[in-house]
Amino acid sequence: DIVMTQSPDSLAVSLGERATITCKSSQSVLYTSNNKNYLAWYQQKPGQPPNLLIFWASTRESGVPDRFSGSGSGTDFTLTISSLQAEDVAVYYCQQYYSTPPTFGQGTKVEIK
Amino acid sequence: QITLKESGPTLVKPTQTLTLTCTFSGFSLTTTGVGVGWIRQPPGKALEWLALIYWNDDKRYSPSLKSRLTIIKDTSKNQVVLTMTDVHPEDTATYYCAHRGHSDGLPYWFFDLWGRGTLITVSS
């Protein structure tokens, strides 16, 4: 199984400031035949199911605000919230879908400083 | 509009069999490429993928739980059922069903829509 490791486990950011979460996979999730990274990001607010934010490492799901962006390739990925809003308080998970079983990171909790 | 809803017992005793039902609308499990998966989340912990069933009745299971899981579909009822045998307290979790995502018309193993989940407690 591919192991996904996120850092940090939690972070506190002031409103309007940037939040950055990293995700590292134990092996590359870049499929060379189509040059796509099989990496997704989810947001989970308290008491709610996960919500898909980004797939292909950098493609925003429809309706996701553009303050959320994803980057990276191979084994190292980043989710950035450019200007943190109160409604962004949540736990964020990365997931690889390069191989089965699909695996998730341990989550990063984002709070307001 | 796609919706999914999980149902099942709230409390199960150790060694019993857990049966969970996902009732969905807004899509058909007879459409090529469509898949419905189950993912669980122990309280305060991370997400763990359990199983997925495809439109053609092909099935995939988590290797670590494969011997205890069975997933089936009932297309006439728009339901997917997951059974887990011999449950343990460590199986206490919120269980989610989710719709497999698509990109450029092709299905992939991310999940674009989730049910609200059902909390299952395993305790005597």
Quote the strand ranges of chain B, DSSP E.
3-7, 11-12, 18-25, 35-41, 48-54, 59-61, 69-74, 79-84, 93-103, 106-114, 118-122
State the Cα angle at A27 between A29 and A101, rounded to 5°.
Answer: 70
Residue A7 has pLDDT above 90, yes or no: yes
Say what the pLDDT of residue B104 is.
Answer: 86
User: pLDDT band for position A107 (50/70/90)?
Assistant: very high
pLDDT digits (tens, 9 = 90+) for A24-39: 999 999 999 999 999 9
> Which chain B residues touch A42 with a CB distance below 8 Å?
47
In this complex, the residue of B62, B110, B115 whose CB is nearest that of residue A40 is B110
Are A97 and B47 within 8 A, CB to CB? Answer: no
pLDDT digits (tens, 9 = 90+) for B47-75: 999 999 999 999 999 999 999 999 999 99
Say what the pLDDT of residue A24 is.
Answer: 98
Say what the pLDDT of residue B106 is.
Answer: 85
Q: How far apart are CA A18 and CA B31, in angstroms?
A: 42
Say what the pLDDT of residue B107 is.
Answer: 84
Least Cα separation, residue B104 to chain A (angstroms): 12
Say what the pLDDT of residue B46 is.
Answer: 94
In this complex, the residue of B46, B62, B96 whose CB is nearest that of residue A106 is B46
A30 CB near a chain B CB, below 8 Å?
no
> Which chain A residues touch B113 with a CB distance below 8 Å?
52
pLDDT digits (tens, 9 = 90+) for A58-67: 999 999 999 9
A64 CB near a chain B CB, below 8 Å?
no
In this complex, the residue of A50, A52, A100 whose CB is nearest that of residue B101 is A52
B63 residue type, one letter:
P
> Which chain A residues touch B110 with a CB distance below 8 Å?
40, 52, 55, 95, 97, 102
Are A104 and B46 within 8 A, CB to CB? Answer: yes
Say what the pLDDT of residue B76 is.
Answer: 94
A87 by DSSP, 3-state: which?
helix
Are A102 and B109 within 8 A, CB to CB? Answer: yes
pLDDT digits (tens, 9 = 90+) for B77-120: 999 999 999 999 999 999 999 999 988 888 889 999 999 999 99
| Residue A102, CA distances (Å) to A11, A19, B111 in order | 26, 26, 10
* Tokens linked to A36: 């796509």
